[in-house]
Structure 1
């Protein structure tokens, strides 16, 4: 069918579903942490604006979290239908780690999610804040187990191979979980999730600042606060992410040199290697056409030495080479967006110092344009990582051609088409719903998910004494104070 066999269609289907799925967990990880920070600031300062922002973003979080759970279910189906050989051979190692993810992370999130979303008026402040923190911690634990599993596929350690079945059997769980690439990828992915949310929050704030400017209105405190918090995050985390990416590059050079050669577009192994800024890798002619190079910069970036040796694709057999043209560009898109993120952070600091942080429309337009940058960089990073691992599912040990199920092309094509239709309809509708919620400006006394909760208004004087166990409004903005009878 159009020159595509079952293997490539199975890979395309998994890439499509994972690409949709990874966006929502990243959004949930970053936003859960942001909600924990907002609630902590509200409890510490008593300022109504933090509670308003918490209620505003918790509604968006609930939709994104639900879409992340639903989109992830399909991958289990695909492991069984399209990648059953991989599941059978790698299952003894990967299966327990995925089970631990469910037991330690998903149960934690599910157990406290209801309290977080609907328990603001039903439990004490401390318990509700604990629930929010535990949901956030649960998302981070979930990310850790998934990255441990995927990192083991990139840099496998701590296993033995059964000579009869060909299965990977656990030998040292400490080495399996904390494999060589795991710490670097964990930090890189965690920072990426925080940046994804920072630029979404910043874009929402910038959108409302621009709209208020156009309508001649004074921006609300909530809009100014969320824009300020997002830009602080960009200014601090984006440069740290660049450093984290550099350390991961050094790790990849050590354990996956073919991936480095492919994403750099280098064909000859050499010292004093240049950095190819642009070009078109040609897999047939084994060269990078139209290359624009910076002398010696490749060695300096990859090895931190001008004379460092950089691998070329020609030192690997043709059947062992990743597909360079794709990851050459996805890597550069990711790096370019990272530089723009850092630039936005620096510009925001400068304008904050100049006193025009909330009034400069060009800064706000820049922040608005950068709204999807975190997710695009995230997807490009994952494409670079996963395509760069090819032609293996378990790097250097199990080839992708040996991992696919004996399934016919029509079966994969049918399920792939069904997934495309359902995903675009369901998740497209969810995305539109989230954007509509973001178009609503947070207001003082913002309502949460519980329709029966009372509206907290700043400056209300406590009323007369109530009955035992009842609460009265505190004079602090957004605060409840238990009556002495409690």
Structure 2
């Protein structure tokens, strides 16, 4: 269909659906931890600004959580419909890991979510804080199992192949495979950074419009401090992750760097920009810094990594794509560091909330964390090709025997439904953010007692009735 093979359409469909899905868990992970910090600060200081921020962001968390659950359900079905041979080959490992996520993380979140969203005036403060902390812990446990599964596909360990199927022999080796610790820390920090940028952009939007309040200032201050401290840490974690990739997936790193071959014993240059040409086996129009590649990639002046020409053409990932997705991720990472350090300096000077160039920068950086996560995910997954389980099963051998026409129709339907449903949901979230936190918002939470309105106990109902009413006219109001 449209010149694409069934394999290409299956990959596009999975990439499209997971690209929509990944942004919601990322914000969920960050917001859950942010809410835990806010409630802890409220319990300790009793400053109403923390309570008001908690109730404001808990509504946004609830809507985001709901969309994350809905978008995630689709992913599980695709393993059976589009990737049945992968499920048959590796299901003995990936199936239990995903089941563990449901049995631990999802049940933990579901068990405490209702108390967190609707129990502010119904349970004691200690129990409510415990509920918020357990939801935050559940999001991190969920990320742990998902990344354990994905990391095993990247660096498989602890298994045997019996009758053409993977059989686990050491679950600790399966879970704690060589790339797992780096991916878990890298992704968790990325979620925190994406949330900090989201919160900071919200505060910047209000400050630029003259809506200055203690809650808005606190939002900006907290996001700046997290960026200033955590963004540089992410750069260090990324460096360790790169060294791990060099050890276990050298061809991926060569593709990321657009590095085709070594020249004698000379150190490697760092190619800043260029165009890796897969057909000509060279990186064209390149701008490079001598020996800097050796210093960054091997931590030595004359170090070298294998070039792509040392691998068979059929075993090389698409360098043209991963070369640029990696640079988008790294470039945005440097901008995050700059934003955090600039903000910390302004905070020290007491001008954080009045510097309009900084506020505009913070506003434009709002989606940068999510874009960086998507760019990093594209780098990781496309860089693994042509393998679905690295070194064990090729992607072409994992796809189901489904026709290109069927996949093309289902992909078109996915695009239409996702744009309509999640486009509306994202617009709703942004409208809630535009309203901003209100002073005394926590005191206005209804306890649902005699003669009072009771909200249905669903996550989306955590948004106030006024917020839900506003969502009705999203397409028409300016």
Give the TM interval when normalised to the shorter protein: over 0.9
Return structure 1 stretches of 4+ with deviation > 3 angstroms. Answer: 447-454
Q: Deviations over 1:74-125 (max 9, x none)?
A: 1111111100000011000111111110001000000100000001111100
Q: Deviations over 1:288-327 (max 9, x none)?
A: 0001000001111111111111221100000000001001
Secondary structure of the corresponding residue to residue 277 of structure 1? strand
Return the offset for 1:414.
1.3
Secondary structure of the corresponding residue to residue 180 of structure 1? coil
Return the offset for 1:449.
9.6
In the alignment, the residues of structure 1 paired with residue 445 and residue 392 of structure 2 have an alpha-carbon distance, to the nearest angstrom, of 52
2:155–2:248 contact (8 Å) kept in structure 1:
yes
**1:429 equivalent in structure 2:** 424
1:10–1:82 contact (8 Å) kept in structure 2:
yes
2:51–2:442 contact (8 Å) kept in structure 1:
no
**1:306 equivalent in structure 2:** 301
In the alignment, the residues of structure 1 paired with residue 2 and residue 45 of structure 2 have an alpha-carbon distance, to the nearest angstrom, of 63
2:5–2:404 contact (8 Å) kept in structure 1:
yes
Return the offset for 1:354.
2.3
1:159–1:168 contact (8 Å) kept in structure 2:
yes
**1:173 equivalent in structure 2:** 171
Return the offset for 1:356.
1.2
**2:79 equivalent in structure 1:** 79
Return the offset for 1:450.
5.2
Task: Choose the corresponding residue for 1:267, options 260, 268, 286.
Answer: 260
**2:374 equivalent in structure 1:** 379
Residue 384 (structure 2) pairs with residue 395 (structure 1): no
Aligned pairs for 1:46-85 within 5 A:
46-85=46-85
Larger Rg: 1
In the alignment, the residues of structure 2 paired with residue 203 and residue 448 of structure 1 have an alpha-carbon distance, to the nearest angstrom, of 26
Secondary structure of the corresponding residue to residue 72 of structure 1? helix
In the alignment, the residues of structure 1 paired with residue 318 and residue 445 of structure 2 have an alpha-carbon distance, to the nearest angstrom, of 50
Secondary structure of the corresponding residue to residue 280 of structure 1? strand
In the alignment, the residues of structure 1 paired with residue 379 and residue 443 of structure 2 have an alpha-carbon distance, to the nearest angstrom, of 39
CA distance 1:79–1:106, change in 2 (3 Å): same
In the alignment, the residues of structure 1 paired with residue 103 and residue 152 of structure 2 have an alpha-carbon distance, to the nearest angstrom, of 20
In the alignment, the residues of structure 1 paired with residue 169 and residue 46 of structure 2 have an alpha-carbon distance, to the nearest angstrom, of 52
Aligned pairs for 1:325-340 within 5 A:
325-340=320-335
**2:277 equivalent in structure 1:** 282
**1:193 equivalent in structure 2:** 191
2:221–2:347 contact (8 Å) kept in structure 1:
no
In the alignment, the residues of structure 2 paired with residue 307 and residue 25 of structure 1 have an alpha-carbon distance, to the nearest angstrom, of 41
Return the offset for 1:441.
2.2
In the alignment, the residues of structure 2 paired with residue 236 and residue 288 of structure 1 have an alpha-carbon distance, to the nearest angstrom, of 36
In the alignment, the residues of structure 2 paired with residue 193 and residue 353 of structure 1 have an alpha-carbon distance, to the nearest angstrom, of 26
Q: Deviations over 1:136-158 (max 9, x none)?
A: 00000000000000000000000
**2:461 equivalent in structure 1:** none
**1:370 equivalent in structure 2:** 365
Task: Choose the corresponding residue for 2:316, options 296, 314, 321.
Answer: 321
Return the offset for 1:353.
2.3
TM-score by length of structure 1 reads 0.91
Return the offset for 1:416.
0.8
In the alignment, the residues of structure 2 paired with residue 120 and residue 351 of structure 1 have an alpha-carbon distance, to the nearest angstrom, of 35
**1:475 equivalent in structure 2:** none
**1:474 equivalent in structure 2:** none
Return the offset for 1:269.
3.3
Secondary structure of the corresponding residue to residue 344 of structure 1? helix
Aligned pairs for 1:59-208 within 5 A:
59-162=59-162, 164=163, 166-208=164-206
* Structure 1: stretches of 5+ with no match in the other structure: 455-486
CA distance 1:449–1:299, change in 2 (3 Å): farther
In the alignment, the residues of structure 1 paired with residue 443 and residue 57 of structure 2 have an alpha-carbon distance, to the nearest angstrom, of 9
In the alignment, the residues of structure 2 paired with residue 17 and residue 386 of structure 1 have an alpha-carbon distance, to the nearest angstrom, of 14
